[in-house]
Amino acid sequence: MSGVVDETPGVPAVAVVPRPAKKPREGNNQFSLRQKLLTYLVLAPMAILFLAPFAWLVSAAFQPMGEIFSSTPHWIPEHPTLAGFKGFLNVGTLTKAQQGQGHGDWRWFVNSAFVAISITVLQTFFNALCAYTFAKRNFPGRNVIFVAFLGTMMVPGQVTLIPNYLIIQHIPFFGGNDWLGNGGHGWLDSYFGLIMPGVVSAFGIFLLRQYMMSIPDQLLEAARIDGASEFRIFWSVVLPLCVPALAANAIFTFQGAWEDFFWPLIIMSSPEKITAPVGLALFVVQNRTSWTLLFAGSVIATLPMIIVFIIFQRQFVQGIAVTGVKG
């Protein structure tokens, strides 16, 4: 509540009375119209430059090939077509040309969704479980193991990439392997291979552990006295209290898994099993130049990310803020 004196125009009492703490924080009075205009003048062209590629992507997804390849770019499709989307979703019959160029596959998106959702669910659960063990259980060597976990955060994915590839190849009893893991291809080209290495993350465990540390031990003690099992405590006492942290973890995991590229690229080989990013990238690299199709596929691959972002905008920003501040 600001005093009446401050609000009355023409009364020069501002300097005498200390301003209420709230008002200057807003800073509205310091921000003149000229400054505002200047800000817009800087931001608007930049925003346009940032958004133009998207606008082009969406527009081009609806353009026939001839229009994409015309000498002047069309921002609004002159002869809008759904051929790209149809080609991708395999709706209707494919033309000879489409078959010749190779066509998109709707299964790529189903694969991506399946893999991303599996990894998100499994990782959120296992991360929470590990975090709970580290935060609330005492066992010998706990701190040593925890530090070892954190240490692995420093190892870049590329170092473990090749060994993991070989490990996946030599999983016993799978893909024609014998009990020593020889002879077949193990989990290569299978969803197990795609999902398993992603089911825990040191970073996620770290974040969740920090969060769980703030839960008072008395709460768990009370549950223990009431006769709740250890898993029950984890499931019905700790997890509900961690929902914000779990949500942030899940969103980032989903985003990462959906757009992951390197790992699926090297371990998947059947064209019908690959994920959307790999499918789209190989499409480009192999010079199958049906760009209408490609742009349509790109739009389909981007949509889930945009939707997730719009729904969880707050968690996105908070999640980044949390990870950013700790540095």
Q: Which of residues 276-315 bind another protein (CB under 8 A)?
A: 276-278, 280-281, 284-285, 291, 294-295, 298, 301-302, 305-306, 308-309, 313
One residue of 11, 162, 213, 222 binding another protein per CB under 8 A: 162
**131 neighbors 205 (Cβ within 8 angstroms):** yes
- Alpha-carbon dihedral angle through residues 173, 176, 181, 183, given to the nearest 10 degrees: 160
Closer CB to another protein, 5 or 159, in the complex: 159
The mark string for 202-241 relative to another protein (x by CB under 8 A, - otherwise) is x---------------------------------------
**87 neighbors 103 (Cβ within 8 angstroms):** yes
One residue of 2, 90, 99, 152 binding another protein per CB under 8 A: 152
The token duo for 16 is 């005498």
Closer CB to another protein, 12 or 156, in the complex: 156
Residue 297 CB, nearest approach to another protein (Å): 9
Q: Does 194 bind another protein (CB under 8 A)?
A: no
Closer CB to another protein, 243 or 285, in the complex: 285
Residue 79 CB, nearest approach to another protein (Å): 17
Closer CB to another protein, 223 or 234, in the complex: 234
Q: Does 12 bind another protein (CB under 8 A)?
A: no
One residue of 76, 144, 147, 154 binding another protein per CB under 8 A: 154
One residue of 51, 213, 219, 222 binding another protein per CB under 8 A: 51
Task: Give the binding-site size for another protein (rule: CB under 8 A).
Answer: 84
One residue of 164, 191, 210, 288 binding another protein per CB under 8 A: 164
Residue among 327, 319, 190, 214 at smallest CA distance from 264? 190
Contacts of 4 (CB under 8 A, 6+ apart): none
Phi/psi for 321 (5° steps) reads -60, -45
Q: Does 266 bind another protein (CB under 8 A)?
A: yes
183-209 b/e (C-beta count within 10 Å ≥ 16 → b): ebbbbbbbeebbbbbbbbbbbbbbbbb
Contacts to another protein from residues 77-106, by CB under 8 A: none
Q: Does 31 bind another protein (CB under 8 A)?
A: yes
Q: Does 47 bind another protein (CB under 8 A)?
A: yes
**55 neighbors 75 (Cβ within 8 angstroms):** yes
Residue 176 region by backbone torsions, left for phi larger than 0, else alpha for psi between -120 and 50, else beta:
left
Closer CB to another protein, 214 or 309, in the complex: 309
Amino acid at 300: I
Q: How far is CA 237 from CA 211, 214, 219, 254, 287, in A?
A: 14, 13, 8, 25, 55
The C-alpha atoms of residue 243 and residue 315 are separated, in whole angstroms, by 11
Q: Does 140 bind another protein (CB under 8 A)?
A: no
Closer CB to another protein, 146 or 211, in the complex: 146
The C-alpha atoms of residue 284 and residue 211 are separated, in whole angstroms, by 43
Closer CB to another protein, 60 or 223, in the complex: 60
Q: Does 327 bind another protein (CB under 8 A)?
A: yes
